[in-house]
Amino acid sequence: MPLALHLSELTHAWPGQAPLIHIAQLTLPQGQHLFIQGPSGCGKSTLLSLLAGVQQVQQGVCQVLGQNLATLGPMQRDQLRGEHMGVIFQQFNLLPFLDVAANALLPTRLFASRAAAASQVWGSPLAQAQALAEGLGLPSSLWHQPVHQLSVGQQQRVAAVRALMGQPQLIIADEPTSALDDANQLEFLDLLLSTAEKQGASVVMVSHNARLADRFHQVHVWPTKEAA
Partner 1 sequence: MKFWLGLAWQSAWSRRQALALVTVSVAVSVLILLSVQQLREDARRSFSNALSGVDLIVGPRGSATELMLYSVFQIGRPSRNMGYAGFQEIQTMPQVRWAVPIQLGDTYQGHPVLGTTATLFTEFKSQGRGLDWAQGRPFGNPQQNAEALKEVVLGAEVARRFGHALGDKLVVTHGAGGGPESTEHDDQPLTVVGILKATGAPIDRSVLVNLETFEAMHQGWGLGISPHALQAANASQVASLDPKELTPVSLSAVWIGLHSRTEVFSVRRKIESFNRDPLMAVMPGVALDELWQVVKVVENSLVLVGMLVAVSAMLSVAAVLLVAMAARRKEWAILRAMGVAPTSLLGYVLLESVLVCSLGILAGEIGSQGLMWAAQDLLRVQFGVLVQPGWPSAESWLSLAALVTVAFVASLLPAWQAYRLSLMDGLHPPTL
- Of 218, 223, 222, residue with least CA distance to 3: 218
If one asks whether residue 48 binds partner 1 (CB under 8 A), the answer comes out as yes
Give the shortest CB-87-to-partner 1 separation in angstroms.
4
- 3-state DSSP call for residue 165? coil
Q: Binder to partner 1 among 30, 79, 209, 218 (CB under 8 A)?
A: 79
Cα 18 from Cα 16, distance rounded (Å): 7
Binding track over 172-201 against partner 1, x by CB under 8 A? --x---------------------------
Cα 114 from Cα 118, distance rounded (Å): 6
Binding track over 143-172 against partner 1, x by CB under 8 A? -------------------x----------
Residues in Cβ contact with 126 at an 8 Å cutoff, skipping those fewer than 6 apart? 101, 105
Cα 227 from Cα 130, distance rounded (Å): 44
Q: Of 27 and 67, which has the nearer Cβ to partner 1?
A: 67
Q: Binder to partner 1 among 15, 41, 96, 181 (CB under 8 A)?
A: 96
If one asks whether residue 70 binds partner 1 (CB under 8 A), the answer comes out as no
If one asks whether residue 110 binds partner 1 (CB under 8 A), the answer comes out as yes
- Give the chain's count of helices (H) and strands (E): 8, 9
- 3-state DSSP call for residue 111? coil
Distances in whole angstroms, Cα of residue 49 to Cα of each of 21, 96, 127, 207: 12, 23, 31, 15
If one asks whether residue 14 binds partner 1 (CB under 8 A), the answer comes out as no
Give the shortest CB-183-to-partner 1 separation in angstroms.
25
Residues in Cβ contact with 182 at an 8 Å cutoff, skipping those fewer than 6 apart? none
Give the shortest CB-173-to-partner 1 separation in angstroms.
11
Amino acid (1-letter code) at residue 3:
L
Give the shortest CB-54-to-partner 1 separation in angstroms.
4
Give how many residues touch partner 1 by CB under 8 A.
31
If one asks whether residue 129 binds partner 1 (CB under 8 A), the answer comes out as no
Q: Binder to partner 1 among 83, 104, 201, 216 (CB under 8 A)?
A: 83
Q: What residues line the site for partner 1 (CB under 8 A)?
A: 45, 48-49, 52, 54-55, 74-75, 78-83, 85, 87, 89, 92-98, 106-107, 109-111, 162, 174
